[in-house]
Structure 1
């Protein structure tokens, strides 16, 4: 199985790119968001999900491990295949998707191509308990919240969610509350402020 590709972008299509690795071109399916960030000739490193079938081998490429995790998780929902998953990840970033699911915001999910109201509601309902873990993995604060955009940004959110969970709240509830808090506090967010704002949200 291929888990990662590093090479130069040779071709960019509507839903795929070709990555030249040592003279061999690999065709990789990718989301519109990932493709928009590429230019022909750029060095690129893609996390890969390999699908093997009797008649073909397909490679799906992602800018991060978190994005690949969402790609796999989305397909656990009935009616969601690889095409719909890529469409959703091309419409919403992994963090925006995690927040939408945690907040029950199926209308944001419905914006993706190939997703109607019923499917959007099913995605939110079935993945709500899985969103907290994926949300923490990809959670970030606005640029400038921490020097250099370090992993400490995600730790702030993770610590706040953990604190609320220790107080007896379900992970999905804690994640949704912290998502709201992060959106409202922006660059002013720190662990203590997130916890206070999260508790206020949970008390509603």
Structure 2
């Protein structure tokens, strides 16, 4: 199985690139974000996921292992094929995708071609337990995970939820509001009042 390829960019299209590795051209299907980082004639190192079909071998290329891991998680969900997974990774980077799932933001996921509200809801339902605390975990105090303590965002309870709701009512996207509220909780601490979280989050969003 091919896990990584390093070579020069020979040519590319809307969703593919040909990587010349010592004179051998490998065709890789990629997300829009990965393709945007490549330049014809330039050197590139792509992490590869190999799919073996009945009649052919398909290579998918990724800018880093993180994007590859998201691709694996997404394609493990019923109804999410490789094309849909790459469409999602084309419109949302790793952090944005984590926030969208944690915030149950179906609208953000539905921005991807071929992903409707029902599929977006299924993705969130399948992945929320796996990634629901990724963004919040950054707010946890040092050593908390080792002691089995809950993430700080969870400790924030109603204040966190109320802050996110207030930001959404102000016109911010749900995942964007969630990310800002997590950052605010990290700054203000677990006992912060709703007003303080909103104020700090708004400052974060304005930067």
- Normalising TM by the smaller chain, what interval? 0.7 to 0.9
- Mark the structure with the bigger radius of gyration: 2
Q: How large is the RMSD of aligned CA atoms in angstroms?
A: 3.6
Matched residues, number? 179
Instruction: Report if aligned partners of 1:46, 1:61 keep a CA contact under 8 Å in 2.
Output: yes
Q: Name the CA shift for 1:71/1:14 in 2 (closer, same or farther; >3 Å).
A: same
Q: Which runs of 5+ in 2 are unaligned?
A: 161-174, 198-207
Structure 1 pair 53–11 and aligned structure 2 pair: CA distance change class (3 A): same
Change (3 A) 1:197 1:52: farther
Q: Tell whether 2:187 aligns with 1:193.
A: yes
Task: Please report how far the alpha carbon of residue 198 of structure 1 lies from its aligned counterpart in structure 2 after TM superposition.
Answer: 8.3
Point out the more displaced range, 99-108 or 124-133.
124-133
Structure-2 separation of matches of 1:165 and 1:106: 32
Cα distance, 1:172 vs structure 2: 9.1
For 1:49 and 1:38, the matched residues in 2 are separated by 18
Structure 1 Cα separation of the partners of residues 141 and 84 of structure 2: 32
Normalising by structure 2, we get a TM-score of 0.72
- Tell which deviates more after alignment, 123-132 or 111-120: 123-132
How far has the Cα of 1:199 moved from its partner?
9.1
**1:73 matched to which residue of 2?**
73
User: Structure 1 161/70 Cα, relative in aligned 2: closer, same or farther at 3 Å?
Assistant: farther
What's the offset of the Cα at 1:196? Answer: 3.5
Is 1:183 the equivalent of 2:180? Answer: yes
Q: Which residue of 163, 170, 176 maps to 2:144? A: 163
Gaps of 5+ in 1: 140-155
Taking a change above 3 Å as real, the CA distance of residues 56 and 184 of structure 1, as seen in their structure-2 partners, is same
Give the 4+ runs in structure 1 shifted more than 4 A: 158-162, 164-168, 170-174, 179-182, 197-201
User: C-alpha displacement at 1:3, in angstroms?
Assistant: 0.5
Q: Which residue of 1 aligns with 2:92?
A: 92
